[in-house]
């Protein structure tokens, strides 16, 4: 039976030309910015709105610079991506070949391990390339499955609207509510238009809502003016917070 170190090096050697072709085809190194979305499992690389590329990805694992440890995505309960379950195929391969690094959820490691695991993942799960997302204290290693055309793609439209970072829900689309609406309040819920979670928005539309008292003030002033806006004190929240507020504030008294 082949030793793990020998196997891993052979996989690295196999990945190098694949990755070189991938980087050349999509000009990966030219993009200065990245954004990944764990709901749609899409990675966006971009310089501007007109200079961007999108990929579907599988999360392989993370390396923590603080703890100096690797963690497989199948072991990481904090990852939301549905397709992280695909990495169980790597774990099964590790069991069949007695490769401890492929079967242990988390362990002391270094950044080079991450590239070995990407190479092995590419071989088993058959991606078109790999990518290392460098966060503050974390390297996030992903396998790219396919390029996604942005034209008429509602997932990408939603992703590009996610410009608000919520402490509870991560990057989401922005929404606007009056000062009186909270997640645990019950003050009524008036909307600019009928909404449901996950709906597509037109380019100029936003989720926006206000309470019963603000609606009375708005009617009193024949619409939104300086006085009614001052009373409402509109605040910015994320899309998920918005729908949590909608649920609690729409309850019948």
> What tens digit of pLDDT does each residue of 96-140 get?
999 999 999 999 999 899 999 999 999 999 999 999 998 878 899
**143 DSSP assignment:** E
Q: Determine the pLDDT at residue 170.
A: 76
Q: What is the mean pLDDT of the chain?
A: 91
Distance from C-alpha of 85 to C-alpha of 83, rounded to nearest angstrom = 5
pLDDT (tens digit per residue) in 182-241: 998 999 999 999 999 888 888 778 899 999 999 999 999 999 998 999 999 999 999 999
Please compute the mean of the pLDDT values over residues 64-93 and round it to a whole number.
91
Distance from C-alpha of 46 to C-alpha of 54, rounded to nearest angstrom = 9
Q: Determine the pLDDT at residue 101.
A: 96
Please compute the mean of the pLDDT values over residues 247-253 and round it to a whole number.
85
Grade residue 80 by pLDDT with cuts at 50, 70 and 90: confident
Cβ–Cβ < 8 Å for 166, 245: no
Q: State how beta strands 106-108 and 235-238 pair.
A: unpaired
Does the pTM surpass 0.85? The reply is no
Buried b / exposed e over 207-233, threshold 16 CB at 10 Å, is bbbbbeebbebbeeeeeeeeebeebbe
């Amino acid at each position: 039976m082949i030793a793990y170190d020998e196997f891993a090096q052979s996989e690295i050697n196999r990945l190098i030309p694949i990755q070189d072709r991938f980087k050349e085809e999509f000009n990966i190194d030219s993009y200065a910015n990245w954004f990944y979305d764990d709901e749609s499992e899409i990675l966006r690389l971009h310089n501007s709105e007109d200079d961007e590329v999108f990929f579907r990805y599988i999360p392989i694992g993370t390396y923590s610079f603080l703890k100096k440890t690797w963690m497989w995505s199948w072991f990481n309960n904090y990852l939301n991506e549905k397709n992280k379950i695909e990495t169980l195929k790597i774990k099964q391969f590790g069991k069949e070949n007695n490769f401890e690094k492929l079967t242990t959820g988390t362990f002391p490691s270094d950044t080079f391990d991450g590239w070995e695991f990407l190479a092995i993942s590419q071989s088993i799960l058959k991606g078109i390339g790999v990518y290392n997302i460098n966060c503050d204290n974390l390297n996030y290693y992903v396998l790219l499955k396919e390029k996604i055309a942005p034209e008429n793609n509602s997932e990408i439209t939603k992703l590009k609207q996610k410009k608000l970072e919520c402490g509870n829900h991560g990057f989401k689309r922005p929404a606007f509510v009056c000062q009186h609406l909270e997640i645990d309040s019950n003050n009524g819920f008036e909307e600019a238009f009928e909404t449901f979670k996950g709906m597509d928005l037109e380019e100029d539309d936003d989720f926006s809502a206000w309470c019963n008292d603000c609606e009375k003030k708005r009617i009193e002033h024949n619409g939104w003016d300086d006085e009614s806006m001052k009373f409402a004190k509109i605040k910015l929240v994320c899309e998920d917070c918005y729908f949590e507020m909608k649920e609690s504030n729409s309850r019948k008294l």
